[in-house]
Structure 1
Amino acid sequence: MNKEECMEALSKHADIKPVITSTVWKELEKENKDFFDAYAQRRDEKESRQRIHKMRLDSDTNSK
């Protein structure tokens, strides 16, 4: 779950204002830099794999 998804979920289900979640998230990022760097890298790699997979599917569909 990314920051925006977290803000939306907490707002909807726990009535926590997005500005509060955003502020806490920023502080967590400061205090846990290594964790968030690794998290961002894994998220980016996952998104890249998903784009490649979609391109392959689109290519297979177009070649038929």
Structure 2
Amino acid sequence: MEDSASYIRMVQHLIEKCIVSRMDMDETVEALSKHAAIDPIITSTVWKGLEKENREFFDAYSREMDDKSRGE
């Protein structure tokens, strides 16, 4: 198996692709579990790490996802 740093980078890349597709964290966790066989705890941990590193982006993204869910 590849080293953990490259695995985490791969998960991060897949999360970024999901964000481009306007998916929230739950949708991303489900998609990566189903289509890439990535353990949901790994996806959510990497997502939360990205949130910490990019607080402003994720705050705005979260507001945008809230608007999407309300149909605005």
Q: Does 1:41 align with 2:50?
A: no
After the TM superposition, list the runs of 4 or more consecutive aligned residues in structure 1 that deviate by more than 6 angstroms: none
Identify which of 1, 4, 7 aligns with 2:29.
Answer: 7
TM-score, normalized by length of structure 1?
Answer: 0.70
Following the alignment from structure 1 to structure 2, what is the Cα–Cα distance between the partners of residues 12 and 47? 22
Where do 5+ consecutive residues of structure 2 fail to align?
A: 1-22
- Code of the residue aligned with 1:21 in structure 2: it is T
Question: Given the two structures, how large is their TM-score scaled by the length of structure 2?
Answer: 0.63
Q: What's the counterpart of residue 16 of structure 1?
A: 38
Aligned letter for 1:8? E
More helix, by proportion? 1
Q: Say what the alpha-carbon RMSD is for the aligned residues.
A: 1.4
Amino acid at match of 2:51: E
Unaligned runs of 5+ in 1: 53-64
| Residues in 2 aligned to 1:39 and 1:18: alpha-carbon distance in whole angstroms | 21
